[in-house]
Structure 1
């Protein structure tokens, strides 16, 4: 292209020929001269250099090198592998992918519906238990109130016990 022999990346901005001013300051082109990128695998220092290395050498790479571990590089290698499939392999792959997605959607839907059903059932049972506990607590408070009123009216502890079903000890605790 031009300039320094070791330089492979160029940032280019459009300028007007007559004015020598930038056409649009926010528009930048980045040109890469891939033949000038000559780093070896051991020399790669950044993700950018790893990407360039892979793009330049993809046809020669048979597996992911340890220095290129990560989801993004794995996805790139998977995509490159799929790109090399025969038409029959592509159809089989697409069918298996469709089957996988259908199954995943079915499981996700079933899980979501099961969760909602469980939540609804749990709420109903909780509400029922809460009502029963509330009724029981209300009965207990009503019996205690009756016992207090009976004592205020002058009934003996023994008669109040017969009236309410409480033990004499429970009545004495009510005061």
Structure 2
């Protein structure tokens, strides 16, 4: 059992983290800033909470309103981000599908043109039937 009123160590006597916690809890109401001998990574949040506890009712209302505003803005941002990601994903899929279909059609036209060329059909007729240019057919 710990009794804070009986905890009387001075800052230079604080050897353990437990000593630092007890010191902070006992003196939090009289501190206007976090002492340098207390690690900000460990004690920073509790000190900030203590600072909020010292606010007047008007300051607290203003603080809570600013928190609501911040959270609303973050929510709007996250919603817009998700919406944008979904739209971008859908657009990317559609473009990829269209490109894949076009490449497939071109590959099929080249295979058909090659087969017709091997059969000895005139290049102009092959170009007309496959939609390829005469130059493309001659390269086969």
TM-score bracket, normalised by the shorter chain, equals: 0.7 to 0.9
RMSD of aligned alpha carbons = 2.0
Output one character per residue of 1:104-148: Cα deviation in whole Å (capped at 9) or x when no partner: 100010011111111111111111111111111111111112223
Superposition pairs for residues 93-108 of structure 1, below 5 Å? Answer: 93-108=63-78
- The residue number in structure 2 matching 1:135 is 105
- Secondary structure at the counterpart of residue 63 of structure 1: coil
Are residues 145 and 79 of structure 1, via their aligned partners in 2, closer, same or farther at CA, if it must alter by over 3 Å?
same
More helix by share: 2
Q: Is 2:89 aligned against 1:119?
A: yes
List runs of 5+ in structure 1 lacking aligned partners: 1-30
- Secondary structure at the counterpart of residue 91 of structure 2: helix
Q: Which has the higher contact order (CA 8 A, sep 6+)?
A: 2
Q: How many aligned positions are there?
A: 130
More strand by share: 1
In 1, distance between residues paired with 2:18 and 2:80?
Answer: 43
- The residue number in structure 1 matching 2:40 is 69
Question: CA offset at residue 49 of structure 1?
Answer: 2.6
TM-score normalized by structure 1? 0.65
Could you tell me whether the CA contact under 8 Å between 1:64 and 1:77 is conserved in 2?
yes
Output one character per residue of 1:12-52: Cα deviation in whole Å (capped at 9) or x when no partner: xxxxxxxxxxxxxxxxxxx1133443333344344333211
TM-score normalized by structure 2? 0.80
Could you tell me whether the CA contact under 8 Å between 1:50 and 1:68 is conserved in 2?
no
The structure number with the bigger radius of gyration is 1
List runs of 5+ in structure 2 lacking aligned partners: 127-133
In 1, distance between residues paired with 2:83 and 2:104?
Answer: 31
In 1, distance between residues paired with 2:112 and 2:12?
Answer: 84
Are residues 128 and 47 of structure 1, via their aligned partners in 2, closer, same or farther at CA, if it must alter by over 3 Å?
farther
